[in-house]
Chains A and B, each alone.
Chain A
């Protein structure tokens, strides 16, 4: 009778954490401009994943790629070992975004955008009284995340670790190069043509002033000013006596 009792007790000693076949992933639809920023990223909600665990609390575990392996599933949320404020210096990962199955119903109403924004709570970043704060991340990563379902304080199910998530790094604005693309064709055309025209006009002016007084260029085509005085023809008396000379 001792043997069956021992056999009964054995499974209860180790908590079996079911490994759910789901990998957390960044949102793919709709295409979001702010999918990753310098301190936040946006995950798809784990819908239709934890259907069997209606009593469990589903937590999001965020770790750095290099510290993910040191995370122990039996770490309780809300303790310093999993506090956001201690990440990443004193804690390998933090747990946040507490939810239940009711928050992730399997039936998705069309048109709804179902996302989880990691890093959206800015008010509790330094508040040690809020260790489950969903605060903005301070480095570019790369980060790994997974979902962990806890019943009471026992982990009962977990998803796999996600692929590494890199956040954006901002370059300094002083690095923007201000070298012009050179001068446009229009500006060069305007400058050359106008310079040539101006030079011709100056040459013409010089020619005008140099030849002032000499009739050399316009000799044959000079014309007289319109006279305001008319010249009267004078006929002497003796001309009238000789009609033949009147021509």
Chain B
């Protein structure tokens, strides 16, 4: 029956193609998640100090899921070309387990992204920036937060989360050790010269435009974090939708194999 043979071959071809795409997407997912875990923007200390770094957990899961997808896609191609019921059953079950893990990763990344509001970073900055603490555990976190904020404020020419007025509107650990008259905001909020000193200290303290950074840093922080979260969540979602179709096709193919 030539027509039925053709249909079978088309279905086989489609499933093989589907698995090839899954394999490539798996590698892309692994590469993307390795990029995020390597923290190119240096924002990890801020997330670590919030004591909730699920976005990194989601990226780690993504690395392993990517490898698993690549390996299983090869298994799937072999099983389809050989029309082997056992192989395809193993493939389907392992794919479902991988699907579940990737689903967890996407949902975690999306949920955690929603919790990273400006207020979260504001409270953390006021609490930890230049905090003097005796507890060793807290000390490394506090130093991480301080160094990261200094780096962000200098590199992005910004100050505070919403602006320099953050330091005026709220009390902070910084305010405990630096008087309001000398340090209305940290020195890193001043426009700095090549040596890292303010070009005009009085101008900075007064808040004269041009001698201090008037923007808030929230955009500089939330931009990379958003890219990270949406990269993991939405790319994973797209892969899972495609995998869903391929798995349905495989199940249909499996049920039609004579044994």
Contact digits for B112-146, partner A, Cβ 8 Å, 1 yes 0 no: 01110101101100110000000000000000000
Contact digits for B74-118, partner A, Cβ 8 Å, 1 yes 0 no: 000000000100000100110010011001001100110111010
B123 pairs with A31, CB closer than 8 A? no
B209 pairs with A30, CB closer than 8 A? yes
A205 pairs with B123, CB closer than 8 A? no
Query: Which of chain A's residues has its CB closest to B171's CB?
Result: A170
The A/B interface has a contact count, at CB < 8 Å, of 164
Contact of B244 among A42, A191, A200 (CB under 8 A): A200
Given A171-B170, A205-B251, A208-B92, A198 contacting B206 (CB threshold 8 A): no
Given A119-B181, A120-B181, A136-B181, A176 contacting B123 (CB threshold 8 A): yes
Query: Which of chain A's residues has its CB closest to B203's CB?
Result: A113
Question: B1-42: which have CB < 8 Å to A?
Answer: 4-5, 7-8
B207 → chain A, closest Cβ, in Å?
3
Question: In the complex, A33 Cα to B162 Cα: how many Å?
Answer: 13
Query: Which of chain B's residues has its CB closest to A224's CB?
Result: B258
Interface size class of B (residues with CB under 8 A): 35 or more
Given A178-B123, A222-B256, A201 contacting B247 (CB threshold 8 A): yes
B244 pairs with A197, CB closer than 8 A? yes
Given A173-B127, A184-B110, A34 contacting B184 (CB threshold 8 A): yes
Any chain B CB within 8 A of the CB of A146?
A: no
Contact of A177 among B119, B180, B206 (CB under 8 A): B119
Question: In the complex, A75 Cα to B110 Cα: how many Å?
Answer: 68
A33-B212, A223-B5 given; 5 more Cβ-contact pairs under 8 Å: A122-B179, A182-B114, A194-B106, A217-B255, A225-B257
14 A-B contacts, Cβ less than 8 Å apart? A33-B165, A39-B179, A40-B181, A115-B206, A135-B181, A136-B179, A187-B110, A187-B114, A190-B237, A194-B240, A201-B99, A211-B255, A218-B255, A223-B258
- Residues on B lying within 8 angstroms of A by beta carbon are 4-5, 7-8, 83, 89, 92-93, 96, 99-100, 103, 106-107, 110-111, 113-115, 117, 119-120, 122-123, 126-127, 164-165, 168-172, 175, 179-182, 184, 202-203, 205-209, 212, 214, 230, 233-234, 237, 240-241, 244, 247-248, 251, 254-258
